[in-house]
């Protein structure tokens, strides 16, 4: 009934919203003498804020038409490379011949659209060939479609990395850090050459036992049945997904806002003051943020519940008990994928140490292929968006990717130099050079069937 009550509330507010539109029309009419008074500006500002907080937001546009490469503006075209029922792999194709490392950005499936990472994509576009997982809103997916759980998420990532091919790099922001690390573990167990050259985990809940936050404590305080009964609901008509069990986006948004309610109230007061004063630039900053922040989508209930159980209650990944369908997830199998963990000092969703745990459970990965950054003064949002992300974090990630690129990375050059030196010494002992020896057989890409996620595109 929760979803039905939410929809009823929206419809009940329609007359009030219509009255607000009427006031706006009347008070912006230049023929109305009241439109030039301070009182009219206050009323208009109040009606705009009311309209924004009661609006049903749809998926925002990416709004990334260009990027800067080598000091020149280059056109960017958004295109869908792969279509799946629950996720599209979106490619930001740059109008350039420059060959940069392929980068898969794994957006969180946690209530917001992938466009929340607009700033993340924008910062990486100048130096990388960027792809992103663009998750679809479940209220528009018919109930007849396949179910989607955490194992399917891992399958999707493996499929996308097979599509992109060897020497791809990956970044996971927040929640998908777990499925990305699981996917890399499974591919490493297979010996799959399409496993990414590097994986960057940003503010991810690898081990939520470290510095648990309010979100982590909530998951521990209630059994999984409580979440199924109290926060999951059925999509009502007239949405195409009616009858589907989901974790509604408006529930997740309410949780996020309640965690920082005073900050959001203060922010709305500031927006009101900017609108009254006519400070359009500052008002635009606020409205742009909230247009994105208030745009939410529904999650498959089975995915949400399995994630809560596996990640936040059982801590299956750090304990070595996690499986992806029939395949054990064994992070110690990772030996060829460089790992970079980024955390924010003030993160109130994913505490300090939770992401860093990935470096500890990948015990067979050489230390020179591991890196860690604790961003001082940054909260959860600040580690993948905003000034600190653009000026400090993104350049470090780009440098890490370049160093561990399997075709042009500095680490690869060092390894090649060592092998050539060792080969020359062996050749000198045997009376021949390294070049005289027969070349090794070319490697082949290992692929595996990946369950529902491996089905042909719809």
Q: What is the pLDDT along the chain (458 residues), one digit of tens a residue?
A: 789 998 999 889 999 999 999 988 998 888 888 888 889 899 999 999 999 989 989 999 999 999 999 999 999 999 999 999 999 999 999 999 999 999 999 999 999 999 999 999 999 999 999 999 999 999 999 999 889 999 999 999 999 999 999 999 999 999 999 999 999 999 999 999 999 999 999 999 999 999 999 899 999 999 999 999 999 999 999 999 999 999 999 999 998 898 888 999 999 999 999 999 989 899 998 999 899 999 999 999 999 999 999 999 999 999 999 999 989 999 999 999 999 999 999 999 999 999 999 999 999 999 999 999 999 999 999 999 999 999 999 999 999 999 999 887 665 545 444 444 344 444 444 444 333 333 333 333 333 333 444 433 33
The label of the residue with tokens 């990772």 reads 334
Please give the structure tokens belonging to residue 138.
């479940």
Please give the structure tokens belonging to residue 70.
């080598």
Where exactly are the structural domains of the chain? 2-56+249-293, 66-227+299-408+447-454
Coil vs helix vs strand at 79: strand
Spatial distance between the Cα atoms of 205 and 216, rounded to a whole number of angstroms: 9
Residue of 333, 331, 335 lying closest to 317 (CA atoms): 331
pTM: 0.86
Instruction: Check residue 278 and give left, alpha or beta (phi > 0: left; psi -120 to 50: alpha).
Output: left
Spatial distance between the Cα atoms of 102 and 106, rounded to a whole number of angstroms: 13
The answer to whether residues 336 and 307 touch, using CB atoms and an 8 Å cutoff, is: no
Fold of 66-227+299-408+447-454: Rossmann fold (3.40.50)
């Amino acid at each position: 009934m929760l979803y039905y009550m939410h929809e009823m509330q929206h419809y009940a507010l329609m007359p009030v919203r219509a009255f607000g539109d009427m006031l706006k029309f009347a008070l912006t009419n230049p023929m109305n003498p009241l439109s030039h008074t301070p009182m009219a500006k206050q009323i208009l500002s109040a009606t705009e804020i009311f309209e924004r907080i009661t609006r049903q937001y749809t998926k925002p546009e990416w709004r990334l038409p260009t990027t800067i490469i080598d000091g020149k503006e280059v056109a960017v075209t958004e295109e869908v490379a792969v279509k799946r029922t629950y996720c599209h792999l979106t490619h930001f194709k740059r109008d350039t011949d420059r060959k940069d490392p392929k980068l898969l950005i794994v957006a969180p499936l946690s209530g917001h659209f992938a466009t929340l990472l607009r700033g993340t994509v924008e910062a990486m576009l100048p130096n990388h060939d960027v792809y992103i997982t663009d998750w679809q809103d479940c209220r528009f997916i018919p109930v007849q479609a396949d179910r989607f759980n955490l194992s399917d998420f891992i399958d999707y990532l493996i499929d996308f990395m097979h599509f992109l091919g060897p020497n791809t790099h990956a970044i996971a922001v927040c929640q998908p850090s777990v499925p990305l690390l699981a996917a890399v573990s499974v591919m490493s167990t297979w010996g799959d050459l399409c496993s990414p050259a590097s994986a960057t985990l940003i503010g991810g809940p690898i081990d939520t036992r470290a510095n648990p936050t309010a979100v982590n404590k909530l998951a521990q305080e209630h059994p999984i049945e409580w979440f199924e009964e109290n926060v999951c609901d059925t999509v009502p008509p007239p949405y195409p997904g009616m009858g589907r069990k989901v974790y509604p986006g408006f529930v997740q948004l309410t949780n996020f806002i309640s965690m920082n309610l005073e900050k959001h109230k203060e922010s709305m007061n500031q927006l009101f003051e900017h609108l009254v004063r006519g400070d359009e630039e500052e008002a635009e900053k606020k409205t742009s943020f909230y247009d994105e922040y208030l745009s939410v989508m529904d999650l498959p209930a089975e995915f949400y519940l399995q994630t809560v159980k596996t990640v936040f209650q059982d801590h299956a990944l750090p304990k070595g008990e996690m499986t992806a369908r029939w395949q054990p997830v064994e992070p110690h199998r990772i030996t060829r994928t460089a790992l970079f963990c980024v955390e924010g000092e003030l993160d109130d969703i994913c505490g300090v140490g939770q992401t860093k745990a990935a470096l500890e459970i990948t015990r067979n990965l050489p230390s020179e292929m591991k890196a860690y950054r604790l961003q001082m003064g940054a909260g959860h949002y600040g580690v993948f968006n905003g000034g600190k992300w653009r000026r400090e974090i993104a350049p470090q990630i780009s440098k890490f990717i370049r160093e561990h690129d399997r075709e042009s990375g500095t680490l690869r050059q060092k390894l090649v130099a060592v092998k050539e030196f060792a080969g020359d010494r062996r050749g000198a002992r045997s009376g021949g050079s390294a070049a005289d020896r027969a070349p090794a057989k070319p490697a082949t890409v290992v692929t595996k069937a990946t369950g529902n996620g491996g089905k042909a595109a719809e």
